[in-house]
Amino acid sequence: MPADVILRQPTSTKFIDLTGKKFSQLTVLSFAGFGGKFPKWNVRCECGTEESTWGNMLRNGRKTRCLSCSDLTLHGLSRKPIYRVYQGMLARCTKQNGPGYANYGGRGIQVCDRWRESIEAFVADMGPRPSAEHSIDRIDNDGNYEPGNCRWATSQEQARNMRCNRKLTASNGETLLACEWEERLGISHQRLYQRLGKMPEHVAVSYSAHGTSPEREAWMEEMKLKYSEWKWRDRHLKKLAKDFERLLRGAPIVVEPQRLTHAKRRERRREIADFVRNGGSVHQAAEKFGVGLHTVINALQEFATS
């Protein structure tokens, strides 16, 4: 429709007036009616050409110039696989209703002006696509689509460059992805995360499937000391709980005798044997030392010739 024909714009509150706005090389002149369900607009390109186009194509960046200046008529790549890669890149960063916009355009990731305005510049900077298994990948996940931050990568390479990947650091400062440590150590994914659940990460990545390391040995010694401390503390707390229950019931607190070491028990048995040999009876020894008769007899048998 000619630009000098002015149509009445809809009065709906949902209708967005684009008159006078500029989208890349196109300037909106006037409303041009509806093309199906979507409004169309008369636009003028910087080259002077006037035509009509859909407003949604202007707003999402798919229409940036007139047909005579469009890449579709110049680059000859519209039917090539690389063109779909290029369009997908633009859609992820500009199409707000797209499935991937939240992880790209919604995070502030943009396509540089050089690539957004020319697919020839994109192809020249990226080079030919190595194979159908390769797609565009950003080296820095928080960076834009621009020369120096993009490469052709396979799905496996891209999976290792995701933000959600966990990185583990060894005691020597070397940092690798969890999957790379699994390959180096020869262990499964489940085994690595079992280690991470019970030991620090620098210990978990320090030894192979059937080996050990100084870091692991030091950690095990530390755990043994902590376990003995925890065991004593647990026994002590249980004793306090029993004493507290006895106090609540009004019963007396039972004081447990202190446990003797092996050397002290042996010395005690020697004293028992000496007491009996010096004229004391078995029953007197048992009563004096607070032991049973069998303990006295065993002490006499043990030190019978000493």
How many other C-beta atoms can be found within 10 angstroms of the C-beta atom of residue 277?
12
Residue closest to 204 by CA, chosen among 217, 214, 193: 193
Give Cα 218 to chain centroid, integer Å. 28
Written as one string, the DSSP assignment of the chain is: --TT-PPPPP--TT----TT-EETTEEEEEEEEEETTEEEEEEEETTS-EEEEEHHHHHTTS--S-TTTSGGGTT--TTSHHHHHHHHHHHHHH-TTSTTGGGTGGGT--B-HHHHH-HHHHHHHH-S---TT-EEEESSTTS-B-TTSEEEE-HHHHHTT-TT--EEE-TTS-EEEHHHHHHHHT--HHHHHHHHHHS-HHHHTSS-TT---HHHHHHHHHHHHHHHHHHHHHHHHHHHHHHHHHHHHTPPPP-PPPPPPHHHHHHHHHHHHHHHHTT--HHHHHHHHT--HHHHHHHHHHTS--
What is the residue whose two structure tokens read 């002015």? 6
What pLDDT, on a 0 to 100 scale, did the predictor assign at position 73?
Answer: 46
Angle between helix 189-198 and helix 178-185 axes, rounded to 10 deg: 110
What pLDDT, on a 0 to 100 scale, did the predictor assign at position 71?
Answer: 47
CB 145 within 8 A of CB 153: no
What pLDDT, on a 0 to 100 scale, did the predictor assign at position 305?
Answer: 63
- What tens-digit pLDDT sequence spans the chain (306 residues)? 444 555 667 667 677 888 888 888 889 998 888 877 788 889 998 888 888 888 888 888 778 877 766 544 455 677 788 888 998 999 999 888 888 889 899 999 999 999 988 888 898 899 888 888 899 999 988 899 999 999 999 988 888 888 778 888 888 888 888 888 888 888 888 888 888 888 898 888 888 888 888 888 888 888 888 877 777 777 777 877 877 777 777 766 666 566 667 788 888 888 999 999 888 888 898 888 888 888 888 888 888 765
What is the residue whose two structure tokens read 């002290």? 264
Give residue limits of the domains in the chain. 1-69, 76-159, 167-215, 262-302
Give the model confidence (pLDDT) of 136-170 as tens digits. Answer: 999 988 899 999 999 999 988 888 888 778 888 88
What pLDDT, on a 0 to 100 scale, did the predictor assign at position 152?
Answer: 93
What pLDDT, on a 0 to 100 scale, did the predictor assign at position 75?
Answer: 59
What is the residue whose two structure tokens read 């020697």? 270
Give the model confidence (pLDDT) of 249-259 as tens digits. Answer: 776 666 656 66
Q: What is the pTM of this model?
A: 0.46
